[in-house]
Amino acid sequence: PISKHLCLVFPLLGSTPYDLLKENQFQGFNLDWTREISKTFLFGLQMLHSTNRIHTDVKPENIMSKHKPTQITVRQRPFTHPPGGEMVLIDLGSSLLLNQKKPLLVCTRQYRAPEVIINLG
């Protein structure tokens, strides 16, 4: 039978950078991986902006890998190594069109830019 319910199906994604930082007791990532995630993340933002849309809630929890991380040993301790490859920008629920009136508060408080806090932009 055909249902009258709308279902959204999403691919299963891996970890967020925040998940990996937490799992590794907030040890930083190596420079190569940081460059790779930054490049793919900025490409995603560029694509979003090309549609005249602003994300408004960019944070490590809203970036997900398409792949699962791997466990390696660093200095005789387990370390969850971030996966390479594509990252996905998620949580567009608070995104806005460029010309749309912006609410007074955007973004998660802990990641809010100073100009947003003092109401400059």
Active site residue 32: no
Read off the pLDDT of residues 66-116 as tens digits, 9 standing for 90 and up: 888 888 888 888 888 877 778 889 998 888 898 888 776 677 888 888 887
Domain range for 36 is: 17-117
pTM: 0.77
CB 10 within 8 A of CB 56: no
d(CA 65, CA 82): 9
**Of residues 55, 46, 85, the one with CA closest to residue 69:** 85
Domain count, the chain: 1
**Domain containing residue 29: CATH number:** 1.10.510.10
Residue among 19, 32, 57, 91 flagged as catalytic: 57
Q: Is residue 2 part of a domain?
A: no
Query: Within a domain: residue 6?
Result: no
The token pair at 24 is 């590794």
Whether 32 is in a domain gets the answer: yes
